[in-house]
Structure 1
Amino acid sequence: MSRHKPKKKSKALKIVLIVMLLLVIAVVGFGFSIYHNINKTAKNMHNPLDRTPEVTREANLSLNKKEPFSVLMLGVDERPGDRGRSDSIIVMTINPKKESIDMLSIPRDTRVEIVGKGVDDKINHAYAFGGVEMSMNTVEKFLDIPIDYYIKMNMEGFKEIVDAVGGVDVNNDIDFSVGKKQFSKGQISLNGDEALAYARMRYDDPRGDFGRQMRQRQVIQGVINKGANISAIWKYDDVLEALGKNVETNLSFSEMKDIQKNYKEARHKIDPYQIEGQGSKIDGIWYYLVSQEERERIQGVLKEHLNI
């Protein structure tokens, strides 16, 4: 296991996402006009769910009491007439007392029980079968932890969010190219189009999907770093426009304010995780298989961070 604008009038990624939440809450308090616009954007993004969870808490979650919580981040490729599949699946647990965030990437080909469908299939198919609700229930059962919130993002729209914060900086560990764009090894700066291409590449990486997951986490963290910087405040209108068009979440504006107040220090320490397993074909279909031992180990890590 590894611990490893658009213009004003004119668009994690694999996840989002708590990142998008941080971009919104970063500008709270900078005047009534800004506050009003944030509130309006939050309402546009808000889409509550009425679901029966697979894993329940002993008592209702209280953000005012600074209790740890979890977020499922879904990066979705949506097409006209097709719901699409979740290209990115990331679970984040936020613990304010430890001032840290655990970020778990789940390979999209992981073979799991699809809750509500009654079949074992690739985990990213849960979204295709039953949208956010089935994805949350499936991830909940697989990890045996409550999933409190979700943040869904249109993957193509992620480019707008990266551009709105002025691009991101990442530390690339391998040389590779995508089309005519060369990504050199070392510290590099990326605009929206580049960030999306960087995060999606996997075929020229000997680590395959694991390398892609690592780059996705880098871009997400880069957005967090830029979005939390005071310079992003002056671009708040572009940030809000990008968020409003591309992000959906069950987090209310009131809950966003509670998180800004009680959890903001956790963004300084993000610990990445990935699930170990092996690829294998079943009935001619390639899956990523995770042993029960590895599944229980990652469950233990997340439960400890959630204090459950």
Structure 2
Amino acid sequence: MAKKQKDKKAKKKLSLMDRILTIISVILIVASVGSIGYVAVMNWQPLSELDQEGNAASIDDDIQNDVNIKKKVTNFLVTGIDYAEGTGRAKLTDVIMVVSFNMETNEINILQIPRDTYIGTEYPTGKINAVYGNKNKGGIENVARVIYDRFRLPIDHYVTINMDGFVNVVDAIGGVEVNVQESFTLEGVTIKPGLQTLDGIKAEKFVRERHSRGGDIGRINGQREFMAALVKKLKGLSLGELTSLAPTLMKNVTTDMNVKTLLAFAEKAMKLDMDNMKFHMVAGEGATINGYSVWTVHKEVLAQTLNDNFRPFSDPVPASELNITEVRNTTNYYDNNDVTVDDLLGSGSSSSAN
């Protein structure tokens, strides 16, 4: 009996140590993917998304990287989902990113996919943000499949956070300092220009606001600014501050990864530099299709972006093989939009973001 009690105590101590080691080991990769990735890796006993049959969701093998390539580069589908009921925005993916971690070069490339990206008439609005909440072809695994099918971009793992969880995480770290460029009001919350610390509610409005920024692409630029500021904040947290976040970080997040998988990235991730974390946006322009304002992709530029940054160990895929319709191509204003976290923080040598 005494031996069993000792074994239980030992297991409890081991579990606590596992949690602490996980936090220490993955802090840099966590920072690179912003608060969404941060919550996921801190959750040492992560919950899975549920598919439409109520089973744990997983990424199908046929849309993942080849097993040998996955040892060198791993792609994460990272989404921020709004479950708010009665607001007209329930079950929409307000944030959609593919985070590609090249473990050979210690580089992070982040593909930001505008939520209005036109993917065809398979979904009522034609927009990619309609996939997750669709009754017949919804869920995180279908979002991953749509990205693979349209962009020919493999997805190995997923991480989701709902917007309530996002608010709680920002509050738990004491807010994030952001230099707000222009005043706006969203859902009764007004934020004025200037350098300021945004709490959870204001941060949520900041990453969702689009009207004062000229639409969905302005929102994406705002999300870049916030995530760069978040990287800076996370790197300044002490171990004690990180461990105190555990109760908050174990809520509102789903992922198919476990601690063993997360720790496998630790050694390489610890070498990450902010100048090696780069954002890319799906190139395109605005259009109106069937009465909906959408983002129509520029296929040639997108193909080049994917081949240059997201296929380091696989053959290039020409634009003709991307399964997406280019409705119009009348301007290249948004075609060159790459920027590093270092640039966004003002410490880089240049910025090509529009």
TM-score band by shorter chain is: 0.7 to 0.9
Give, as a single letter, the amino acid of the residue that structure 2 aligns with 1:255.
T
Distance across 2 between alignment mates of 1:145 and 1:200:
26
Cα distance 1:168–1:160, how it changes in 2: closer, same or farther (>3 A)? Answer: same
- Which residue number in structure 1 is paired with residue 256 of structure 2? 250
Q: State the secondary structure of the residue aligned to 1:194.
A: helix
Residues 167-189 of structure 1: per-residue CA shift (max 9 Å, x gap): 1122333344444533314x332
Distance across 1 between alignment mates of 2:281 and 2:128:
15
Deviation of the 1:78 alpha carbon = 0.8
Name the stretch that deviates more: 245-254 or 174-183.
Answer: 174-183
- Which residue number in structure 2 is paired with residue 43 of structure 1? 45
- Which residue number in structure 2 is paired with residue 88 of structure 1? 95
- Which residue number in structure 1 is paired with residue 76 of structure 2? 71
- Which residue number in structure 2 is paired with residue 133 of structure 1? 141
Q: State the secondary structure of the residue aligned to 2:44.
A: helix
Where in structure 1 are there 5+ consecutive unaligned residues?
Answer: 1-11, 25-40
Where in structure 2 are there 5+ consecutive unaligned residues?
Answer: 1-30, 50-55, 316-354
Q: TM-score, normalised by structure 1?
A: 0.76
For 1:186-205, what aligned pairs fall within 5 Å after superposition? 187-205=195-213
Which is bigger in relative contact order (C-alpha 8 A, separation at least 6)? Answer: 1
Deviation of the 1:46 alpha carbon = 4.5
Give, as a single letter, the amino acid of the residue that structure 2 aligns with 1:247.
V
Distance across 2 between alignment mates of 1:180 and 1:246:
23
- Which residue number in structure 1 is paired with residue 118 of structure 2? 111
Deviation of the 1:253 alpha carbon = 0.8
On the 8 A contact 1:75/1:153 being kept in 2, the answer is: yes
- Which residue number in structure 2 is paired with residue 31 of structure 1? none
Residues 27-50 of structure 1: per-residue CA shift (max 9 Å, x gap): xxxxxxxxxxxxxx4214355634
Q: State the secondary structure of the residue aligned to 1:255.
A: helix
Q: In percent, how many aligned pairs have the same letter?
A: 24
Residues 189-221 of structure 1: per-residue CA shift (max 9 Å, x gap): 212112111111111113x21121122122233
Cα distance 1:118–1:156, how it changes in 2: closer, same or farther (>3 A)? Answer: closer
Q: State the secondary structure of the residue aligned to 2:63.
A: coil
Deviation of the 1:152 alpha carbon = 0.4
Q: State the secondary structure of the residue aligned to 2:159.
A: strand
Q: Once superposed, what is the RMSD of the aligned Cα atoms?
A: 3.0
On the 8 A contact 1:16/1:152 being kept in 2, the answer is: no
On the 8 A contact 2:34/2:231 being kept in 1, the answer is: no
Cα distance 1:180–1:55, how it changes in 2: closer, same or farther (>3 A)? Answer: closer
Distance across 2 between alignment mates of 1:182 and 1:58:
46
| Structure 1 runs, 4 residues or longer, greater than 6 Å off | none
- Which residue number in structure 1 is paired with residue 3 of structure 2? none
Does 2:32 align with 1:19? no
On the 8 A contact 1:99/1:263 being kept in 2, the answer is: yes
| Greater strand content | 1
Cα distance 1:75–1:258, how it changes in 2: closer, same or farther (>3 A)? Answer: same
Deviation of the 1:305 alpha carbon = 4.6
Q: TM-score, normalised by structure 2?
A: 0.67
Among 296, 299, 310, the alignment partner of 1:292 is: 299
Name the stretch that deviates more: 120-129 or 219-228.
Answer: 219-228
| Greater gyration radius | 2
Cα distance 1:183–1:306, how it changes in 2: closer, same or farther (>3 A)? Answer: farther
Distance across 1 between alignment mates of 2:267 and 2:259:
12
Cα distance 1:156–1:44, how it changes in 2: closer, same or farther (>3 A)? Answer: same
Give, as a single letter, the amino acid of the residue that structure 2 aligns with 1:163.
D
Residues 226-263 of structure 1: per-residue CA shift (max 9 Å, x gap): 233342x2233542222211111111111111122222
- Which residue number in structure 2 is paired with residue 7 of structure 1? none
Among 192, 209, 221, the alignment partner of 2:216 is: 209
Q: State the secondary structure of the residue aligned to 1:281.
A: strand
Length, aligned pairs only: 271
